[in-house]
Each structure stands twice: as C-alpha cells, then as structure tokens.
Amino acid sequence: MKNLLLSLLIMSSFAVHAQVSKATHLKETEKANAQPISKTDSSVYICKGSSAYAYHKSRACEGLTYCTRDIEAVAKKEAEVNHKRKPCKACH
C-alpha cells in the first residue's frame, strides 16, 4: 500500500512539473515574439484588465478611474502593437 501511494505521489509530481514547464515555455515564447520597444518612444499608461482597450497620457486620466487591475507604464508603440490599445478619447 505504501509503495502504491509513493508511486502515485511521484507520478503526480512529474505531471505537475510538466505543466509548469509548459507554462514557462509559453511565457518565454510570448516574450520572444513581442515587438521591441524603441528607446525614443514616449510612455503611456495602460490598465492590465481584460476589458481595457485604451492607452492614456497620464496616470491620473479619468479613463483609468475604474481600472480594477494594475496600471502599467509602457511605450506608446508597445501599447498599440503588443496590447492592441487605441488612444483614450478623454485624454488624447
């Protein structure tokens, strides 16, 4: 019985390790496929929420009032290309 439980524990730990390795690989692939950011590109602010669709000139923009996730400063080009964001109608 102990051997059976030990075997099941070992097999489940391998399965978890495989899932974690796959998730890590996917994140690394996404980073590698991301568009490079120009050093001269101006910074804008985006809400990291799933329903967010715009980028903002200022962190204090009223368009970010209801952001329920993190607000992140990114290059304008990154906001447009990688995050598919459009200019906020309130601040642009």
The reported pTM is: 0.57
Q: In DSSP terms, which residues pair with 44 in a beta bridge?
A: 74
Per-residue burial over 8-22, b if 16 or more Cβ lie within 10 Å, else e, is eeeeeeeeeeeeeee
Under the banding of pLDDT at 50, 70 and 90, the label for residue 20 is: very low
Question: Count of alpha carbons within 13 Å of 27, Cβ hemisphere only?
Answer: 6
DSSP structural state of residue 69: S
| Average pLDDT of the chain, as a whole number | 78
d(CA 27, CA 73): 20
**For 47-87, what is each residue's pLDDT tens digit?**
999 999 999 999 999 999 999 999 999 999 999 999 999 99
Determine the pLDDT at residue 11: 65
